[in-house]
Amino acid sequence: MLRKLQVRQVYIRHRKIDALAVHCYTFCKREKIMTERPEFYLTTDPQLVALREGLREVMDPEIGMSIVELGLVRTAEIQPEGVHIMMIMTTPFCPYSPAILESTRQKSHEVTGLTATVEMGIEMWSPEMMEEGAGGEWGLF
């Protein structure tokens, strides 16, 4: 359900948001945005497991943790015509977004040998999306 919410002056699909992670975290908590682990992190499909392990090498340069540890990959589909990945960033206006998206695309192609497309979703990131125990490395828990 999309509603207009007042947090700051930036609109993303009828939602006002703030670029600061603290406000994003509060926004996620208040709106109960999905924080459970997506199927990508739970699957035992050999191709997706190999992709997940390969994507552990793609790092968020600002935080110094992998996109898998941070829970940034929300969906991944491997089909005969290629790999399609949907991911998010830790903040809506992450300056490293283009580099992270391109690194993800390259690593996906390298691991699977298929054409890879990476799409950026609008879901808000929350520290609860991180892998179990990963927050300690970031000083969160």
Higher pLDDT, residue 123 or 28: 123
Give the domain ranges of the chain: 35-132
| Among candidate residues 28, 30, 4, 31, the one with its CA nearest the CA of residue 16 | 4
CA 127 to chain CA centroid, Å, is 11
Out of 51-60, 75-84, 93-102, 125-134, pick the least confident. 125-134
Q: Which two tokens stand for residue 60?
A: 């968020």
Give the Cα separation of 130 and 141 in Å (integer).
11
Give the Cα separation of 58 and 56 in Å (integer).
6
pTM over 0.85, yes/no:
no
Query: Both ends of the chain: CA-CA distance in Å?
Result: 31
Indicate the pLDDT class of residue 119, thresholds 50, 70 and 90: very high
What's the maximum distance between 2 C-alpha atoms anywhere in the chain? 44
Beta carbons within 8 Å of 89's beta carbon, 6+ residues apart: 72, 96, 97, 100, 120, 125
Give the Cα separation of 105 and 24 in Å (integer).
26
* pLDDT 10s digits, 7-60: 333 444 444 444 444 444 444 444 545 556 677 777 788 999 999 999 999 999
Architecture of the domain spanning 35-132? 2-Layer Sandwich (3.30)
